[in-house]
Structure 1
Amino acid sequence: MSEIEIDKNAALIVIDVQEGFTDPYWGRRDNPAAEENIAALIREWRAERRPIVIVRHDSRTPGSPLLPGAPGNAVKDLVAVALGPEAPDLFLTKSVNSAFYGRPNLDEWLRGHGIGQIIIVGMQTNMCNETTARMAGNLGYQVLYPIDAMHTFDATGPDGEVVTAEDLTRATAASLHHGGFAQVIHTTDLLTTSPS
């Protein structure tokens, strides 16, 4: 792979890194290194003074660990620790898959700041992350998708067959790459130093 060019104002979009995703409600997950890689990218972006957007999912699904007011709705401590004392450049909430349907309006904020390149990390690989990447690609953004800075869960198909989280991740990577929605990369492609 050729060297990745990162815009000086490339925005890191951190999606749904919330306590509720540790709940057994979701089932078996993949990529135990996801949180470490997410934190490494937040620290890198903070050190380089690039913009960081934090997205929180406020679920409307009864029984979801991500319901507003539930302990699982909270953003994981690792985000605050990696950010340091300064607030993110933008904090938005959403109740659907795409961060572009959150509040405040992500597309308006990005365009208002002259940002054309975004990096998507967080949860889940094949859900909110993929939906946001597809929409970003359709809106004309250059999307970088570090596939190891996110995770997902096993899912049951309409025939009752369980598709593993690893297979879903591979399918997402192939679909985004093949469709030209995003450049699928790895965390180390974006770091000046290795994750600690």
Structure 2
Amino acid sequence: MSRALLLIDIQEGMDSPLWGARNNPDAEDNAARLLAAFRDSGAPLFHVHHFSKRPASPLHPDNGGTAIKSVVAPREGEPVYAKDTNSAFIGTTLEADLRAAGVDGVVVAGLSTPQCISTSVRMAANLGFETWLAHDACAAFETHAAYDWAEGLPRMSADDIHIMEVSILHGEFCRAMSTDAILEALA
């Protein structure tokens, strides 16, 4: 099996206080460990970053948060995709490039778990890629506001959201694994 690493939306704008409290402060460091292993092995790797269409978003091009964080910054020659939806596959050539590279499995890491990571994991699986989710190389943010029907319900913590989303994805769309387990499986 040829497996590629997908690093999704690990961007400076994700540090904005607008998002709220976050879980998993080691997510970027774990993603960097995966990146180093893929670089060392020569396995394919792909960087994706988000360019929001919403002017108030920290990930809007005018707001200075679109840069990929230095801990996982792409090197010259590594593929980088820009997207404006919550899927790494929509509006990019990612799927075609994975297939052209002979990839049939992906390892996914990035931000944030219930948005772009969840959507990209679901699409990867639906496109037929065997998908591993590095659950400790992802992170979520607490809820921002309740829907009308949920008024009065307690806010969900970032940990609750992360655990819930990973649990929903695991088994149907991916195999959720720790960074250590992935590195061991790839060795």
The question of a shared fold, defined as TM-score above 0.5 by the shorter chain, is answered with yes
Q: Is 1:10 paired with 2:3? A: yes
Aligned ranges for residues 119-134 of structure 1 at < 5 Å? 119-134=107-122
Hey, what's the Cα distance between the residues in 2 that align with 1:168 and 1:113? Answer: 34
Give the match for residue 85 of structure 2. 96
* TM-aligned CA deviation for residue 163 of structure 1: 1.1
Aligned residues: 179
TM-score normalised by L of structure 1: 0.87
Give the alignment's Cα RMSD to 1 decimal.
1.4
Q: Is the 8 A contact 1:157 1:163 kept in 2?
A: no
Q: Is the 8 A contact 2:51 2:61 kept in 1?
A: yes
Q: Is the 8 A contact 2:28 2:72 kept in 1?
A: no
Q: Is the 8 A contact 2:31 2:110 kept in 1?
A: yes
Q: Is 1:146 paired with 2:134? A: yes
Question: Between the two proteins, what is the percent identity of the paired residues?
Answer: 36
TM-score normalised by L of structure 2: 0.91
Counterpart amino acid of residue 85 in structure 2: V
Q: Is the 8 A contact 1:54 1:91 kept in 2?
A: yes
Superposed CA deviations along residues 120-149 of structure 1, whole A, max 9, x for unmatched, are 001001110010001111111100001000
* TM-aligned CA deviation for residue 152 of structure 1: 1.0
- Structure 2 alignment gaps of length 5 or more: none
Hey, what's the Cα distance between the residues in 1 that align with 2:10 and 2:99? Answer: 24
Q: Which moved more, 1:25-34 or 1:161-170?
A: 161-170
Large movers: runs of 4+ above 4 Å? none
Give the match for residue 26 of structure 1. 19
Hey, what's the Cα distance between the residues in 1 that align with 2:44 and 2:136? Answer: 21
Superposed CA deviations along residues 158-177 of structure 1, whole A, max 9, x for unmatched, are 21431111111111121112
